[in-house]
Amino acid sequence: MTPDLLSHLFSIASAALVAIGLFMLVRSHYLLRALLGLTLMEAGVNLFLVSVGYREGAAPPIAIDGQLPAVMVDPIPQALILTAIVIGVGVLGLALALALRLHQSEGTLWLPRLRRRAQSACSKEDAA
């Protein structure tokens, strides 16, 4: 397989992940499913950035017995994604905590129901 085809493959795969995640995020009726879409989008972005740093036939950027391999992949996107994954789980935890709190106060996580409730609250405020 040529490197060109491989890079095509990674672009298509990461774009597909981002698109699937976005579709889930926009079209879901349940808040937790929308958050699941967010994690899929994150996975797509991570795959894209790591694949940018990849070079054909390159070794991981780690010295073995004090000797660095001759051709290595770019370590910078890897360091970036390493922190991005951990930040992602922190943000996901916060979002889930907010969702849990919303469920405690509203009794539901169904977005249409929450939207209707917010609208009726708005119109009540307008009438007052």
Site for other proteins in 6-25 (CB under 8 A): 6-24
Nearer to other proteins, 116 or 122 (CB): 116
- Return the exposure string of 7-38: e unless at least 16 CB atoms fall within 10 Å of the residue's CB, then b: eeeeeeebeebbeebeebbeeeeebeebbebb
**Rounded distance, CA 73 to CA 53, Å?**
6
Number of neighbours of residue 40 by Cβ within 10 angstroms: 18
Site residues for other proteins, 32-91, by CB under 8 A, read: 32-33, 35-37, 39-40, 43, 46-48, 50-55, 58-66, 68, 72-79, 81-83, 85-91
Q: Which is nearer to other proteins, 6 or 125 (CB)?
A: 6
Taking the least distance from each CB to other proteins, the nearer of 8 and 127 is: 8
Interface characters, 98-117, with other proteins (x: CB under 8 A): xxxx-xx--x-xxxxx-xx-
> How far is it, in rounded angstroms, from Cα 47 to Cα 72?
18
Contact 48, 21 (CB under 8 A): no
Per CB under 8 A, the list member of 93, 118, 121, 123 interacting with other proteins is: 93
